[in-house]
Amino acid sequence: MGEPLSARRRTTDGYSLGERQWSVLIDKDNRFRLYVRQQGWETADSLTRPKPGHWYLIGVVVRDAQAELWVNGKRTGQIKLTQPLPQTKAPLTFGGVDDNGRIWQNFFGALDEVRLHDKPLDAEKMAATYTPVTSTHKVPKPPKPFTLWTGPPIPDNVELIPFAG
């Protein structure tokens, strides 16, 4: 998986803007994970493994001393902040990265709603934002792979005969 899920305001040294802050992903182990840049990347994990077609409420709360990951109305992880998150010109993006006009690391799924608040919600309000959703999306099956080459196996580069000149 490892694709952005909910929101990100993150660019890395390899990105064109050279700014780095935070992101929420469905990571390689199929768990929701919050990444926050401090001296290096710090993470807050969730034990929740999302199932295709099901809805999840993902929240990120940044307070003075910590950043929190919320899944379905419950705080599932937190990161102690050793420095404040910088204010930058990096765009806030949902479902992918806007790398100075190049859109990549796209999320394959559906985003239903986004809410931004000008101050952190307390734990009671965060818990109250969650209403369970029992309806599911029908997820189409991926297309069957098809063969592009039907000839003999292509040789490895160690099997190729070098030509002089």
Containing structural domain, residue 75: 3-128
Task: Report yes or no on 69 lying in a domain.
Answer: yes
CATH number of the domain within which 108 lies: 2.60.120.200
Number of domains in the chain: 1
Domain assignment present for residue 44? The answer is yes
140 found inside a domain:
no
Rounded Cα gap, residues 60 and 6, in angstroms: 9
Q: What is the pLDDT of residue 165?
A: 67
pLDDT tens track for 115-155: 888 899 999 999 999 999 999 988 888 888 888 888 888 77
Residue 156 counted as domain residue: no
Tens digit of pLDDT for each residue in 27-78? Answer: 889 999 999 989 889 999 999 999 989 999 999 999 999 999 999 999 999 9
Whether residue 146 is contained in a domain is answered as: no
Q: What is the mean pLDDT of residues 17-28?
A: 80
Position 88 in a domain: yes
Kindly report whether the global pTM for this prediction surpasses the value 0.85.
no
161 found inside a domain: no
Beta bridge partner(s), residue 43: 35
Residue 135 lies in a domain: no
Cα 9 from Cα 86, distance rounded (Å): 11
- Chain-centroid distance, C-alpha 159: 41
**Amino acid 21: pLDDT:** 84
The pLDDT of residue 131: 94
Distance CA 76, CA 84 (A): 21
